[in-house]
Amino acid sequence: MWEKILASVVVAAVVAGAFGIITLLLNRHWAKKDRRTDKLEEISNKLSGVEEKLDDHIQQDNERYATECRGRILSFASELINEPGHKHTKGQFDAVLGDVTHYNKYCDEHPNYQNEMTARSIEIIRGIYDECAREHKFL
């Protein structure tokens, strides 16, 4: 009888030991998985922060470029107004008209950006361009 009880105790101890080892292994596995999940979440948060900063820089660069285009447009229009005979090359006009295209597109996409400054200058540039094209007056 004692032999059966001892055998049962031994079996119970082996089962309990195996269960303990399995529990330990599972806990280690889940702990590693939790650490990986935490690390992935940390990386994801950092990437989100980088993405926001990149978006801000891109927006600032686009606005800066639009402002530079506006400056070139105003400067070129001023040259045309103050320079008798409008002696400029077609290439100079084409470059400024490229700036006009970019500037107008930026203004359309950003209605809060100051846009009133160039409307008259753009009309002057286009008008003189048309005149030079009609009369072959490019330099």
Mean pLDDT of 70-81: 93
Note the pLDDT tens digit of each residue in 43-65: 877 777 878 888 888 888 888 99
Q: How many CB atoms lie within 10 A of CB 76?
A: 23
Q: State the average pLDDT over residues 24-33.
A: 72
What was the pLDDT predicted at 16?
66
At 30 the pLDDT is: 73
Take residue 12 and report the two structure tokens written for it: 């119970």
Give residue 35's pLDDT. Answer: 74
User: Domain map of the chain by residue range?
Assistant: 2-135
Q: Which two tokens stand for residue 56?
A: 């801000």
What would the two tokens of residue 62 be? 């686009």
**pLDDT level of residue 122 (50, 70, 90 thresholds):** very high
User: Within its chain, how far is the Cα of 92 from the centroid?
Assistant: 31
Q: In this predicted structure, what is the pLDDT of residue 99? A: 96
Please give the angle made by the CA atoms of 57, 96 and 81, to the nearest 5 degrees.
125
**2-12 mean pLDDT:** 64
